[in-house]
A and B are shown apart, each in its own frame.
Chain A
Amino acid sequence: MSALAEQDLRAQARALREGRASSVELVGEHLARIERQAQLGAFLHVDAEGALQAARAADAARAAGASSALLGLPLAHKDVFVTRDMPTTAGSRMLAGYRSPFDATVVARLREAGAVCVGKTNMDEFAMGSSNENSAFGPVRNPWDPRAVPGGSSGGSAAAVAARLVPAATGTDTGGSIRQPAAFCGITGIKPTYGLCSRYGMIAYASSLDQAGAMARSAWDCALVLGAMVGFDPRDSTSVQHAVPDYTAALDAPREGADAARPLSGLRIGLPREWFAQGLADDVEQAVREALRQLRDLGAQLVDIDLPRSALSVAAYYILAPAEASSNLSRFDGVRYGHRAEQYADLAEMYANSRAEGFGPEVKRRILTGAYVLSHGYYDAYYLQAQKIRRLIAQDFLAAFGSCDLIAGPVAPTVAWNLGEKADPLANYLADVHTLPASLAGLPAMSVPAGFGRAEHAQRPVGLQLVAPHFGEAGLLHAAHQLQRVTDWHLRAPAV
């Protein structure tokens, strides 16, 4: 029988349920893999002792008849979620050694569902980045190709799942931070509708955009994990009270008028012309078109749509997110927690030096940009204009969903690039153009493995992006799951 860790979350859950494996075995095997794959840099902290203890408790609970959704299953958290029993750094030197007195709501929910947290995954500092090279604790390597970046900012979670170090992990997505690393690492990731997952205990980058989500091997696994993450939280004023369907049950629910051969019959999938414009790499476009052909074979109807302001999303996002970040990161002043400089003459210097030493260049760049667009005389021209553009982009989606049920396109214009290849920040920003629109509109979106690049990129995965209307997670997961029933991209594992 193949190693448990080679199997996906669904299979591991079955093995536990049927008593073919214990949580202690399962967790132990993953801990061993994490140790062997330390060179990937996927983890910032591993709690073997705590994990095994939790695994023993889970086995005991199961023996006593318990059967929660994730009972005894190993899982990792992006280090942006605060945890009571492990350090939390958000990938920043600023928070080295910080201990939170409480757990993030998402962390608590997953624990209540029985999941065993093995550790905290590496990330771009304060979730600012798309290559994971902005981590203060070193980059993460792409398990498919050690020269390549894993994407970001949830690069550690993506690499950990791709390398089978954990069957699933949490991530956060502000402008694509779940979808893009999922695509670069050949795994499945979902960012739900803004407001579905509580932001309490998730260290804020851009409050009106941040949203937690699930990263795993398949749509089925994502459905299982997401179902345990979402839900109303009174501690988050932007958390929504919305009835949450059973996502796993929805995966195989037959569509009206559809049959087993053509399960997506009647589903209209919109293809934004702007998302297939120039700048999209040929190998990525080819893989995406092939996935679209398979969706059509499953009965879906492909329709051309327009999202005319898509290109403006880069400007809107990189004004709004830094503006919110410049304010969200003001609490890191070295007074109550976080890095405090050794050298300072007075309070003003203590602030300026502590923050200069604690933050990395990309974080400083966004704080400066954010402070600038909010500063006296520039607010209307930049911040307010960006918020108006944001409404136009959201309205474009609402209009588009009048003629389609889902929207499909690439996650990123290219496959993963090489470590150190994209030194220019602007080039990184522009590469987010496909994920930013759904983020600005607060829409649920997924990345589904759809093949690989060509030539020297033959080992670099390509992701298909699917976007649904607000609260359309079930339909999104259903389509992705049906696609994964007839494709095996999500089953491919890197040779690590």
Chain B
Amino acid sequence: MSSFALPGWEIVIGLETHVQLSTASKMFSDAPNLFGREPNMLASEVDLALPGTLPVTNRGAVERAIRFGLAVGAVVAPMSVFARKNYFYPDLPKGYQISQFEIPVVQGGKVPYVFDGEPRQAQLTRAHLEEDAGKSVHGLDWAGQDATGIDLNRAGTPLLEIVSEPVLRSPAEAAAYARALHALVVWLGICDGNLQEGSFRCDANVSVRRPGAPLGTRCEIKNLNSFRFLERAIEFEARRQAELIEDGGTVRQETRLFDPDRGETRTMRTKEDSHDYRYFPDPDLPPLLIEPAWVERVRAELPELPAQMAARFEHQHGLSTADAAYLTQSRAHAAYFEACLAAGAAAKPAANWIMGELAAALNRDELDMARCPVAPGELAALIARQADGTLSGKTAREVFAALWQGERGVDAIIDARGLRQISDVSAIAEAVAAVLAANPKNVEEFRAGKTKALNALVGQVMKATGGRANPQQVGEALRAAIEA
């Protein structure tokens, strides 16, 4: 999979992922949870931390946390506590962030993912609810001075921070886990998954050690919002640490930032100046109590999960682990595949079309599966025509291209373009006679026992018929004609 390796070193990675929850309103205020508005237009009195304001917790955010907890088989805590994490930063309006510290709402759990073609599970430590901070806009000019602008539109956005154990062993595996987690939260409908808008951000805890040795000192790389950056940042950081130690140095525990342009990480904050957050239970918010009945209701509404569905595809339809994983990468993919089967297509060709032509076309036109222009029924019909010999591989691709361009009705397209394979004996005999007459040499060779020579002749006939003749028929016709 990934070529990256550090001979003689083991890389130890744990991820802390901030997932913005797709609620209508914010975590502790009723301001809309939206992206990309004029600065501070989405900041309510509570988000601005105006004197006298108080937080009120969003049921929708809590329910999404429960949904996630159940999906990863975690313990949904019957009682969890919101605490204040105290530190000063201009885009943190209250001077503290409301988060969960000692008792998080989701405890434990496992996230399944596929790496190097084999299914794996990453053990989670916890997942807790918290509020996002605002945005600092740097490099402004204020009265001739270099200034920073504070936009609190994002302040108060509900976050689920999902913390994995340090169980990932390579940058590529970390990326595979992150992709699976991303797919899962989108699948569950708790996050829009928009990486550009920061709806899904990873912090990576990275350390290196000699195989079998105790854990090394870790560094945390903050705010990685693309899987590629995540992988590259970890690669750089692991190499940096290994080289540092090999040169007789020691790794200093610190928080680092990844610079995508330079492809390197740099120190943001060292442990020495790391904060003393003075966590304590938020006196404005009594403990969060979650009744078993609520958990059971959410459990009943839970959709079939990607891993379960992938396993089903493997047994029911004999797909490979990789194919099943591919088809369950999103609800749209899985739905499309199942719709094809429902329309009568066989599993294997359906999978191949979706992973082949369809994926390539989607990729080329930068469309996601939800906006695929070819209806599953059409693809199923196409597959059927290929199976009954009406279409060859080549003509089938031509029909698919037509469907992609918006033409409808597989048979109509076949007829309109005269793509139906020629099985009319006389027509084939005509072409065969012409080819035999034009290629006496091959005929001699075949007679001399060189069966390969027949293939050349078949090719010639196919060419003459624009690929519309049925190759078997042609072969038989040639034999018959030569041996006659």
- Is A in direct contact with B (CB under 8 Å) within the complex? yes
Q: Which residues of A does B touch, CB under 8 Å?
A: 81-82, 88, 90, 95, 98, 100-102, 104, 199-204, 206-208, 234-238, 323-324, 326-327, 329-331, 333, 335-337, 347, 351, 371, 374-376, 379, 383
Complex Cα distance A186/B52, Å?
30
B52 touches A202 (CB 8 A): yes
Contacts of B283 in A (CB 8 A): 206-208, 238, 324
Contact partner of B52 (CB less than 8 A), chosen from A204, A206, A324, A326, is: A204
A237 touches B57 (CB 8 A): yes
B280 touches A383 (CB 8 A): yes
Chain B window 295-309, contacts with chain A (Cβ cutoff 8 Å), 1 for yes, 0 for no: 000000000000000
CB of B62 to closest CB in A, whole Å: 13
A330 touches B88 (CB 8 A): yes
CB nearest to B285 among chain A residues: A237
A327 touches B285 (CB 8 A): no
Given A324-B283, A330-B88: A374 and B278 within 8 A (CB)?
A: yes
Contacts of A324 in B (CB 8 A): 283
Contacts of B52 in A (CB 8 A): 81-82, 100, 102, 104, 200-204
Complex Cα distance A207/B84, Å?
13
Contact partner of B286 (CB less than 8 A), chosen from A88, A234, A238, A323, is: A238
22 pairs, A vs B, C-beta closer than 8 Å: A98-B51, A100-B52, A199-B54, A200-B54, A201-B52, A201-B53, A202-B52, A204-B52, A204-B284, A207-B283, A207-B284, A237-B56, A237-B286, A324-B283, A326-B278, A331-B49, A335-B150, A337-B50, A351-B88, A376-B276, A379-B278, A379-B279
Contact partner of B49 (CB less than 8 A), chosen from A238, A336, A347, is: A336
Determine whether B95 belongs to the interface, using a CB cutoff of 8 Å to chain A: yes
Complex Cα distance A238/B57, Å?
12
Contacts of A326 in B (CB 8 A): 86, 278
Q: Would you call the interface of chain A mostly helix, strand, loop, or mixed?
A: loop
Contacts of B56 in A (CB 8 A): 234-237
Given A82-B51, A203-B52: A102 and B86 within 8 A (CB)?
A: no
CB nearest to A82 among chain B residues: B52
Contacts of A336 in B (CB 8 A): 48-50, 93, 150
Contacts of A383 in B (CB 8 A): 280
A200 touches B53 (CB 8 A): yes
Q: Would you call the interface of chain B mostly helix, strand, loop, or mixed?
A: loop
Complex Cα distance A335/B136, Å?
12
Determine whether B444 belongs to the interface, using a CB cutoff of 8 Å to chain A: no
A333 touches B88 (CB 8 A): yes
Given A327-B86, A331-B95, A383-B280: A100 and B50 within 8 A (CB)?
A: yes
Find the residue from B52, B93, B148 having the highest chain A CB count within 10 A: B52
Contacts of A102 in B (CB 8 A): 45, 50, 52
CB nearest to B49 among chain A residues: A331
A374 touches B280 (CB 8 A): yes
CB nearest to A379 among chain B residues: B280
Closest 5 CB pairs of A and B: A330-B95, A374-B278, A207-B283, A208-B283, A201-B52
Contact partner of B51 (CB less than 8 A), chosen from A88, A237, A379, is: A88
B interface, how many residues as a size bin?
20 to 34
CB nearest to A370 among chain B residues: B278
B276 touches A237 (CB 8 A): no
CB of A22 to closest CB in B, whole Å: 33
Chain B window 77-98, contacts with chain A (Cβ cutoff 8 Å), 1 for yes, 0 for no: 0000000101010100111100
Contacts of A98 in B (CB 8 A): 51
A236-B54, A331-B94, A376-B278 known, 15 other contacts, Cβ within 8 Å: A100-B50, A102-B50, A200-B53, A200-B54, A204-B51, A204-B54, A206-B283, A237-B57, A330-B96, A347-B90, A347-B148, A351-B88, A375-B278, A376-B276, A379-B280
B51 touches A335 (CB 8 A): no
Complex Cα distance A202/B96, Å?
19
Contacts of B189 in A (CB 8 A): none
Determine whether B55 belongs to the interface, using a CB cutoff of 8 Å to chain A: yes
Contact partner of A237 (CB less than 8 A), chosen from B54, B90, B96, is: B54
Complex Cα distance A447/B148, Å?
51
CB of A299 to closest CB in B, whole Å: 40
Contacts of A335 in B (CB 8 A): 90, 93, 150
A100 touches B51 (CB 8 A): yes
Complex Cα distance A235/B52, Å?
11
CB of A317 to closest CB in B, whole Å: 14
CB nearest to B278 among chain A residues: A374
CB nearest to A372 among chain B residues: B278
CB nearest to A103 among chain B residues: B52
CB of A379 to closest CB in B, whole Å: 7
Contacts of B279 in A (CB 8 A): 374, 379
CB nearest to A105 among chain B residues: B52
Quick one: which of B258-276 are within 8 Å of A by CB? 276
CB of B453 to closest CB in A, whole Å: 84
A331 touches B90 (CB 8 A): no
Given A201-B52, A237-B57: A327 and B93 within 8 A (CB)?
A: no
Contacts of A200 in B (CB 8 A): 52-54
CB nearest to A234 among chain B residues: B56
A203 touches B57 (CB 8 A): no
CB of A128 to closest CB in B, whole Å: 15
CB of B422 to closest CB in A, whole Å: 76
Contacts of A201 in B (CB 8 A): 52-53
CB nearest to B90 among chain A residues: A335
Complex Cα distance A374/B88, Å?
15
CB of A1 to closest CB in B, whole Å: 41
Complex Cα distance A206/B279, Å?
16
Contact partner of A333 (CB less than 8 A), chosen from B53, B95, B280, B284, is: B95
CB of A232 to closest CB in B, whole Å: 13
Contacts of B280 in A (CB 8 A): 323, 327, 374, 379, 383
Complex Cα distance A323/B279, Å?
11
Contacts of A199 in B (CB 8 A): 54
Complex Cα distance A201/B53, Å?
6
Complex Cα distance A347/B90, Å?
9
A203 touches B286 (CB 8 A): no
A331 touches B93 (CB 8 A): yes
Contacts of B55 in A (CB 8 A): 237
CB of A368 to closest CB in B, whole Å: 12
Complex Cα distance A201/B52, Å?
4
Contacts of A238 in B (CB 8 A): 283-284, 286
CB of B362 to closest CB in A, whole Å: 46
Given A207-B284, A208-B283: A330 and B94 within 8 A (CB)?
A: yes
CB nearest to B28 among chain A residues: A237
Contacts of B148 in A (CB 8 A): 347
Complex Cα distance A200/B54, Å?
6
